[in-house]
């Protein structure tokens, strides 16, 4: 399963520097009367940027992330991921983009309970057809990167919440995706562990990864370079953070 | 996703709920085992019976008159209608080498060396009914002599086993007693022919003259003649059997005494060994099909077990399916994973079912004293069936899993 790189970018293509860009995207659910979860969103996420999305519950943050992550399709508008317009793709191709270009981190970790940490991290590679020994090597390398080099054979129920989230982050990193999407990654963690996870994201950003993170906690959002404020399915404003918060702990 | 990884993940899923998987597999084991047992028993029974009947195929045509539409064995319900004249006419047909009448002489008992045993009947026939190879000792009786031939079971009826040269006394049903000399003993493998049935009973053979007394007035000649319920027409060779059979029937229907004597609702049966073999084969295969049908039902129940377990398993693992899809699993990958799980359960069941089935067949064969014949192709079929059962049972659950929406699945608790 080779990645479909967009060497022939669409003519209306977005800025080639953008990891992700959206044009006038709408997502409407019909439950009796239409619910506009997203109502005309245009934004771009430059490569290597660190962005937070904030907004009250039900404002459309998760919907936005799911559209970018190719888990869902827009009702209207265009979504470019690494230069490819994904809303017109077949289910098969969209799944491929999801596997190759997106790394997901969830609030509830979403690890496979019966697989070890290394197997969980290697899972995306399984669906890319990477050989077993390569999978193992890459999973161990990434686990070492997130500070879990000595926990590769532990199952999720043998790990703490923070460790589980690190396994999830390692899994998101293992395919070397264009963008890492995190939906409230600290939501299920205590403050101190949350800080450690933020430290990890900070390091990923420093190393050049693109990170888009949903949160409803202001202090968490302030770790990013800019904060997109969402309200009722629209972008209320985009706030540039002059000096993002730094985590001083060393992982 | 490569096949090895699919196997590993599916195997892990099966192992993660061992008891449930084992019980599901048990359903298939019982189904496949039952099918194998009954098919094996059916084939063994068929081979056994055909071995007895068809082992020494003879160029014989068996003739009797029985109730119309009755489907019993040879001689069932036979009425004495074949006169001596009919026998002579049959002997004259082309391709016929001998005609052997056979009648029943009702008796009360047989005594030998001071020991008397009850015997309901003796068989009156002609010397031509014996094949020299079937004698353990002695020779066939001669017509017109007071001589008897015993089969092995009959010889062993008496306290001191009867041997050639012994005197026996037949106590006829009429109360009269007749003495006779034992001149021949049949060996163990010699049966009484199709008219005597398949199980080995004590048989006493006597010549029709002087023992057989059932007579009638020939409608054609007006003479009083012996009349027999069953007749065996022996053709000159196997090539002549079909022709002889046609001629015998034509004669019987046309100008025979039997045609005049036979009751209205009776019909002639004219059968060759091959006809008998075919008939028994048909009867046995109907029986085998019926029992196998029941076994197949248990196999279907087994596959419903797999489908049920897979549906539960898919629901339980909704979240896992969502995770796999979120990290790039295609529909095909998910389908493959669940289908493989179902197929593995089916194949395990089938593979375990084969020895269970053989064991069952072995036990049953031991019980009824049958030698086993294994229909080998059925073992391959059983494994194929296991595969099929897995695919059929797993297809819908796996398809359900494959089309799960990842967002819904990830939200699933
Ligand atoms: N599957 C769905 N069906 C109907 N409405 C939905 C569905 N998913 C989300 N919504 C609605 O879309 C809006 C945005 O939801 P969401 O993106 O989950 O908000 P957030 O993550 O900001 O809390 C909400 O009003 C929610 O009720
Ligand atoms: Mg949300």
> What per-residue confidence (pLDDT) applies to A85?
93
Same domain for B226 and B321? no
Same domain for B203 and B150? yes
Say whether pLDDT at A7 is over 50: no
Same domain for B106 and B162? yes
> What per-residue confidence (pLDDT) applies to B398?
94
Q: Is B114 within a domain?
A: yes
> In angstroms, rounded to a whole number, what is the distance separating the alpha carbons of residues B327 and B51?
65
Q: Does B410 touch chain A (CB under 8 A)?
A: yes
What is the per-residue pLDDT across B190-203, written as a single tens digit (0 to 9) for each? 656 666 655 568 88
User: Best-predicted range by mean pLDDT among A20-24, B114-118, B295-299, B368-372?
Assistant: A20-24
> In angstroms, rounded to a whole number, what is the distance separating the alpha carbons of residues A103 and A71?
12
Q: Is B64 within a domain?
A: no
The closest alpha carbon to B320, from B22, B10, B4, belongs to B10
| Atom of ligand 1 minimally distant from the CA of A63 | 17
> Structure tokens of B10?
């599916």
ipTM: 0.90
User: Could you check whether the bond before residue B210 is cis, i.e. omega within 30 degrees of 0?
Assistant: yes
What pLDDT band is residue A120 in, cutting at 50, 70 and 90? very high
Say whether pLDDT at A9 is over 50: no
CA B72 to chain centre: 14
Q: Is B268 within a domain?
A: no
When pLDDT is averaged across residues A144-151 and rounded to a whole number, the result is: 93
Say whether pLDDT at A5 is over 60: no
Q: Does B406 touch chain A (CB under 8 A)?
A: yes
Q: Is B106 within a domain?
A: yes
> What per-residue confidence (pLDDT) applies to A6?
44
* DSSP element (H, E) containing B232: strand B230-235
What is the per-residue pLDDT across B45-85, written as a single tens digit (0 to 9) for each? 888 877 776 555 678 888 888 888 766 667 777 888 898 88
Residues of B in contact with A113 (CB under 8 A): 320
Is B324 in Cβ contact with A99 (below 8 Å)?
no
DSSP structure class, residue B204: E
What pLDDT band is residue B159 in, cutting at 50, 70 and 90? confident
Say whether pLDDT at B335 is over 90: yes
CA atoms within 13 A on the CB side of B256: 28
* Residue that finishes a domain, picked among B261, B292, B318: B261
Give Cβ neighbours of residue B366 (< 8 Å, ≥ 6 apart). none
Say whether pLDDT at A40 is over 80: yes
Same domain for B86 and B203? yes
> In angstroms, rounded to a whole number, what is the distance separating the alpha carbons of residues B271 and B286?
21
Is B1 in Cβ contact with A171 (below 8 Å)?
no
Report yes or no: A167 and A143 within 8 Å, Cβ to Cβ: yes
Q: Is B367 within a domain?
A: yes
Report yes or no: B164 and B170 within 8 Å, Cβ to Cβ: no
For ligand 1, say whether the CB of A49 is within 6 Å of any of its atoms: no
Say whether pLDDT at B324 is over 50: yes
For ligand 1, say whether the CB of A58 is within 6 Å of any of its atoms: yes
> In angstroms, rounded to a whole number, what is the distance separating the alpha carbons of residues B40 and A153?
49
Closest-approaching ligand to the CA atom of A187: 2
> What per-residue confidence (pLDDT) applies to B58?
76
Same domain for B103 and B203? yes
> In angstroms, rounded to a whole number, what is the distance separating the alpha carbons of residues A18 and A36?
26
> In angstroms, rounded to a whole number, what is the distance separating the alpha carbons of residues B58 and B100?
14
C-alpha angle B40-B41-B46 in degrees, rounded to nearest 5: 100
Q: Where are the beta strands (DSSP E) in B251-394?
A: 266-272
Same domain for B109 and B219? yes
> What per-residue confidence (pLDDT) applies to B72?
65
Closest residue in chain B to residue A96, using alpha carbons only = B328
Q: Which residue, among B328, B336, B410, B413, would best test binding to A if mutated, counting the most A CBs under 10 Å from its CB? A: B328
> What per-residue confidence (pLDDT) applies to A48?
93
User: Best-predicted range by mean pLDDT among A138-142, B89-93, B227-231?
Assistant: A138-142
Say whether pLDDT at B91 is over 70: yes
Report yes or no: B42 and B360 within 8 Å, Cβ to Cβ: no
Please name the residue whose Cα sits nearest to atom 13 of ligand 1. Answer: A37
> What per-residue confidence (pLDDT) applies to A109?
94
- Reduced to 3 states, what is the DSSP secondary structure of residue B111? strand
What is the DSSP code string of A104-118?
A: EE-TT----TTS-HH
Report yes or no: B95 and B244 within 8 Å, Cβ to Cβ: yes
Closest residue in chain B to residue A97, using alpha carbons only = B328
> In angstroms, rounded to a whole number, what is the distance separating the alpha carbons of residues B175 and A27?
109
Rounded to the nearest integer, the mean pLDDT of chain A is 90
Using CA atoms of B288, B290, B295, B298 in order, give the dihedral in degrees to the nearest 10.
180
CA distances from A79 to A13, A24, A46, B190, B374 (A): 11, 9, 14, 92, 65
Q: Is B73 within a domain?
A: no
> What per-residue confidence (pLDDT) applies to B196?
65
- Reduced to 3 states, what is the DSSP secondary structure of residue B76? coil
What is the per-residue pLDDT across B206-262, written as a single tens digit (0 to 9) for each? 998 888 888 888 877 788 888 899 898 888 887 888 888 888 888 888 888 888 888
What is the per-residue pLDDT across B92-146, written as a single tens digit (0 to 9) for each? 888 888 899 988 888 988 988 888 888 888 899 988 888 777 888 889 999 888 9
What pLDDT band is residue B271 in, cutting at 50, 70 and 90? confident
What pLDDT band is residue A31 in, cutting at 50, 70 and 90? confident
Same domain for B151 and B254? yes
Is B320 in Cβ contact with A112 (below 8 Å)?
yes
Say whether pLDDT at A239 is over 90: yes
Q: Is B110 within a domain?
A: yes
Q: What percent of chain A has pLDDT over 70?
A: 92
| Atom of ligand 1 minimally distant from the CA of A64 | 17
> Structure tokens of A67?
């559209």
Q: Does B331 touch chain A (CB under 8 A)?
A: yes
When pLDDT is averaged across residues B405-411 and rounded to a whole number, the result is: 90
Provide the shortest C-alpha distance from residue A85 to chain B (in Å).
18
Report yes or no: B302 and B389 within 8 Å, Cβ to Cβ: yes
> In angstroms, rounded to a whole number, what is the distance separating the alpha carbons of residues A101 and A19?
9
How many domains is chain B built from? 2
CA of A57 to the centre of ligand 2 (A): 7
Q: Is B291 within a domain?
A: yes
What is the DSSP code string of B343-379?
A: HHHHHHHHHHHHHHHHHHHHHHHHHHT------THHH
> What per-residue confidence (pLDDT) applies to A89?
93
Closest residue in chain A to residue B2, using alpha carbons only = A129
> What per-residue confidence (pLDDT) applies to A2?
42
> What per-residue confidence (pLDDT) applies to B56?
59
For ligand 1, say whether the CB of A55 is within 6 Å of any of its atoms: yes
What pLDDT band is residue B156 in, cutting at 50, 70 and 90? confident
Same domain for B141 and B245? yes
Residues of B in contact with A127 (CB under 8 A): 1, 324, 327-330, 333
Q: Does B329 touch chain A (CB under 8 A)?
A: yes
> Structure tokens of B99?
């005609």
Sign of CA dihedral A82, A85, A87, A90: negative
B74 or A151, which is more confident:
A151
Say whether pLDDT at A10 is over 60: no
For ligand 1, say whether the CB of A30 is within 6 Å of any of its atoms: no
What pLDDT band is residue A157 in, cutting at 50, 70 and 90? very high
Same domain for B327 and B179? no
For ligand 1, say whether the CB of A12 is within 6 Å of any of its atoms: no
Same domain for B359 and B298? yes
Same domain for B33 and B171? no
CA of A68 to the centre of ligand 1 (A): 15
> Which pTM does this prediction carry?
0.72
For ligand 1, say whether the CB of A37 is within 6 Å of any of its atoms: yes
Is B331 in Cβ contact with A124 (below 8 Å)?
no
> What per-residue confidence (pLDDT) applies to B70?
67
Range of the domain at B11: 3-51+280-411
For ligand 1, say whether the CB of A190 is within 6 Å of any of its atoms: no
- Reduced to 3 states, what is the DSSP secondary structure of residue A59? coil
Same domain for B86 and B181? yes
């Amino acid at each position: 399963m080779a990645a479909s790189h967009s060497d022939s970018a669409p003519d209306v293509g977005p800025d080639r520097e953008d990891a992700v860009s959206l044009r006038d995207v709408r997502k409407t659910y019909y439950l009796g009367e239409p619910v506009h979860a997203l109502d005309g969103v245009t934004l771009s996420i430059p490569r290597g940027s660190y962005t937070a999305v904030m907004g009250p519950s039900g404002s459309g943050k998760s919907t936005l992330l799911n559209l970018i992550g190719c888990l869902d399709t827009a009702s209207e508008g265009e979504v470019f991921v690494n230069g490819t317009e994904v809303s017109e793709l077949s289910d098969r191709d969209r799944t491929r983009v999801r596997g190759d270009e997106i790394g997901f981190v969830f609030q509830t970790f979403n690890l496979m309970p019966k697989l070890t940490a290394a197997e969980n991290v290697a899972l995306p590679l399984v669906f890319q057809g990477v050989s077993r020994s390569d999978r193992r090597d890459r999973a161990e390398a990434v686990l070492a990167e997130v500070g879990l080099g000595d926990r590769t054979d532990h199952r999720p129920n043998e790990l703490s919440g923070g460790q589980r989230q690190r396994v999830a982050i390692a899994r998101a990193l293992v395919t070397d995706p264009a963008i890492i999407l995190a939906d409230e990654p600290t939501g299920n963690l205590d403050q101190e562990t949350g800080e450690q996870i933020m430290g990890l994201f900070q390091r990923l950003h420093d190393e050049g990864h693109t990170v888009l993170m949903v949160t409803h906690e202001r202090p968490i959002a302030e770790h990013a370079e800019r904060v997109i404020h969402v309200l009722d399915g629209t972008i209320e404003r985009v706030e540039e953070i002059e000096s993002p918060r730094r985590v001083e702990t060393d992982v | 996703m490569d096949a090895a990884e699919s196997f590993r993940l599916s195997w892990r899923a099966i192992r993660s709920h061992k008891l449930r998987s084992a019980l599901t597999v048990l359903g298939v084991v019982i189904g496949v085992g039952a099918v194998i047992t009954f098919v094996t028993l059916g084939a063994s029974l068929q081979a056994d019976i055909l071995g007895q009947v068809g082992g020494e195929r003879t160029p014989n045509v068996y003739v009797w008159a029985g109730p119309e539409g009755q489907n019993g064995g040879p001689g069932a319900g036979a009425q004495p209608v074949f006169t001596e004249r009919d026998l002579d006419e049959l002997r004259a047909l082309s391709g016929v080498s001998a005609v052997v009448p056979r009648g029943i002489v009702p008796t009360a008992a047989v005594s030998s060396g001071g020991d008397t045993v009850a015997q309901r009947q003796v068989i009156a026939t002609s010397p031509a009914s014996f094949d020299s190879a079937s004698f353990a000792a002695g020779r066939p009786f001669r017509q017109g002599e007071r001589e008897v031939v015993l089969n092995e079971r009959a010889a062993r009826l008496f306290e001191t086993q009867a041997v050639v040269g012994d005197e026996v006394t037949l106590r006829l049903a009429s109360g009269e007693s007749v003495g006779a000399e034992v001149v021949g003993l049949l060996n163990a493998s010699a049966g009484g022919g199709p008219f005597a049935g398949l199980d080995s009973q004590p048989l006493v053979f006597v010549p029709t003259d002087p023992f057989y007394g059932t007579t009638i007035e020939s409608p054609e000649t007006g003479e009083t003649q012996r009349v027999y319920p069953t007749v065996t027409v022996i053709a000159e060779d196997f090539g002549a059997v079909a022709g002889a059979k046609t001629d015998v029937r034509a004669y019987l229907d046309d100008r025979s005494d039997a045609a005049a004597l036979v009751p209205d609702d009776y019909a002639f049966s004219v059968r060759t060994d091959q006809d008998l073999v075919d008939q028994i084969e048909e009867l046995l295969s109907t029986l085998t099909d019926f029992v196998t049908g029941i076994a197949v039902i248990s196999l279907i129940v087994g596959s419903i077990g797999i489908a049920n377990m897979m549906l539960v398993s898919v629901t339980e693992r909704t979240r896992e399916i969502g995770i796999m899809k979120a990290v790039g699993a295609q529909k095909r990958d998910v389908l493959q994973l669940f289908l493989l799980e179902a197929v593995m359960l089916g194949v395990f069941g089938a593979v375990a079912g084969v020895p269970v089935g053989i064991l069952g067949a072995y036990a049953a064969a031991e019980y009824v004293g049958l030698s086993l014949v294994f229909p080998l192709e059925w073992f391959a079929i059983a494994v194929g069936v296991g595969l099929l059962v897995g695919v059929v049972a797993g297809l819908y659950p796996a398809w359900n899993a494959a089309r799960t929406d990842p967002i819904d699945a990830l939200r699933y608790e």
